[in-house]
Structure 1
Amino acid sequence: MEKLVLTEQELKFPIGEFQLPSNISDNQLQLWIHEIKIFPQRLIKAVNGLTEQELNYKYRPNGWTIKQVVHHCADSHMNSYMRFKLALTEDTPAIRPYFEDRWAELHDSNDEDVSDSLNLLTYLHKKWISLLEGLSPEDLNKAFFHPESEQQTSLKENIGIYAWHGCHHIAHIKKAIEYKGQF
């Protein structure tokens, strides 16, 4: 196989960085919610049948392995779901950031058995979609404050971020498999 020549930026963001549209239409919002809805099935399909060796492929030098990406998605999406709940029940709450890179190094994130994280994502997304589909226009404008970025993020913006997040990590997994972790 020919050596892959991609920039660090292309490896880190294979589908590009999230771009927030200036106006989030109802149609755009429904497309994003659909992406979140189908993410667990897409992830399961992406890793189905991978061996332990393949689960250890990295998507870029010094990046995470496929199994770490799967476990990260479960961690990240749980945090996002909780941020939605906080924003819906509090007045622009400050959320608690976490060190995703450190979480990815914990024992459970290095476990080759990704089935628990896949199951967690399947059921979490079912509950999350139920929440998202019931949001009113007023709810969608509620926001949380991120102390690291010092910015408010509305729930409708966060729906877009997480639709992108799922696609972003599916692309990482596909690249790792395509290049057999050889970067």
Structure 2
Amino acid sequence: MKVQDLNSYEYGPYHHNYLKLVSNEYTLIEELEISLHRFIKFVQDIPMDKFDYRYAEGKWTIKDIIQHIIDAERVFSYRALRFARNDSTKLPGYEEDHYATFANGSQRSIMDLLNELSAVRYATLSLFKSFNSEQLVRIGIASDNPMSVRAAGFIIIGHQSHHQNIFKERYL
């Protein structure tokens, strides 16, 4: 299945901006794999002096953003797991700024962050590979919006792409 197969009722309006960044060329599993390698290669080409740079007071560093990508992927994978298992509990949102404040991403090495991102992505891949076609289209509620299991996977990819674009526009 590809991102073009999603229906608009499978995700909240806010996530459309992420989903439009996902390539229609690859399946969900392929893009989860490819986008990880593409992102790591991109980050490895960033000059070392940029990882702790803030383009404005109070903005996150590149390290903070990578930590945010890791945290968000864990949240979206958890949502996908709950919905795939037909859990009808409405899931709350999460406060990303609060997470960033207490994650200490800026205190970590870039290698440590990329290693963790890889570990989380491989866990995400294993999870999504375990879902059958019926589970992938199950829908739950998160942050007061519908979300299908497969939409959660594509949102993970689009969210990462969104932040990669932010790096290009504001940090490099």
The TM-score bracket by the shorter chain reads 0.7 to 0.9
Normalising by the residue count of structure 2, what TM-score does the alignment of the two structures yield? 0.74
Partner of 2:150: 156
- The yes-or-no answer on 1:94 pairing with 2:90 is yes
User: Which ranges of structure 1 fall in alignment gaps of 5 or more residues?
Assistant: 1-15, 21-26, 179-183
- The yes-or-no answer on 1:85 pairing with 2:109 is no
**CA–CA separation in structure 1 for the residues paired with 2:119 and 2:82:** 20
**CA–CA separation in structure 1 for the residues paired with 2:69 and 2:24:** 23
**CA–CA separation in structure 1 for the residues paired with 2:27 and 2:137:** 18
Structure (1/2) with the larger helix percentage:
2
Bigger radius of gyration among the two: 1
| Contact 1:33 1:132 (8 Å CA) reproduced | yes
Counterpart code for 2:35 = F
**CA–CA separation in structure 2 for the residues paired with 1:69 and 1:144:** 27
Partner of 1:18: 18
Shift of 1:124: 1.8
Shift of 1:39: 2.9
**CA–CA separation in structure 1 for the residues paired with 2:84 and 2:34:** 23
SS of the residue corresponding to residue 106 of structure 1 reads helix
| Contact 2:63 2:110 (8 Å CA) reproduced | yes
Shift of 1:139: 0.6
| Contact 1:59 1:175 (8 Å CA) reproduced | no
Q: Which residue among 152, 162, 165 is the counterpart of 1:168?
A: 162
Normalising by the residue count of structure 1, what TM-score does the alignment of the two structures yield? 0.70
Counterpart code for 2:95 = F
User: Which ranges of structure 2 fall in alignment gaps of 5 or more residues?
Assistant: 1-15
What is the percentage of aligned positions where both structures have the same residue? 23
RMSD across aligned positions (CA): 2.7
CA change 1:72–1:157 in 2 (3 A) is same
